[in-house]
């Protein structure tokens, strides 16, 4: 689990069936100072409605993501689990 800044959205015309109907965000992981980028951006599934520029909490927990998407075979690794106020 880590904090990240939403830097955009992703659109896929062809994708795994488990991803159908889900909003895909491009998020930049952040260091603990909440400002400095940490590594490369990743794609995360968003069920909370986060917008560009917001700071979110993302998780790479496979079990949680599979339960969220209701799919044991989803290729999704990252999901938004919180929006930081």
Dump pLDDT digits (tens) for 22-64. Answer: 999 999 999 999 999 999 999 999 999 999 999 999 999 988 8
pLDDT at 65 over 90: no
Beta-carbon contacts of residue 62 (< 8 Å; ≥ 6 apart): 77
Domain count, the chain: 1
Residue 63 buriedness (CB in 10 A; 0-12 / 13-18 / 19+): exposed
Specify the CATH number for the domain of residue 18: 2.40.50.220
Encoded tokens for 73:
């075979």
| pTM of the model as a whole | 0.90
pLDDT of residue 48: 96
Instruction: List the domain range (segments joined by +) for residue 65.
Output: 2-83
* Measured distance between the N- and C-terminal CA atoms of the chain, rounded to whole angstroms: 17
pLDDT at 81 over 90: yes
pLDDT at 13 over 90: no
């Amino acid at each position: 689990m880590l904090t990240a800044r939403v830097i955009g959205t992703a659109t896929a015309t062809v994708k795994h069936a488990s991803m159908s109907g889900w909003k895909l965000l491009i998020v930049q992981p952040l260091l603990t100072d909440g400002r400095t980028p940490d590594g490369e951006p990743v794609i995360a599934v968003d069920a909370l409605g986060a917008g560009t520029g917001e700071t979110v909490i993302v998780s790479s927990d496979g079990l949680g993501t599979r339960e969220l998407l209701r799919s044991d075979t989803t290729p999704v690794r990252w999901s938004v689990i919180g929006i930081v106020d």
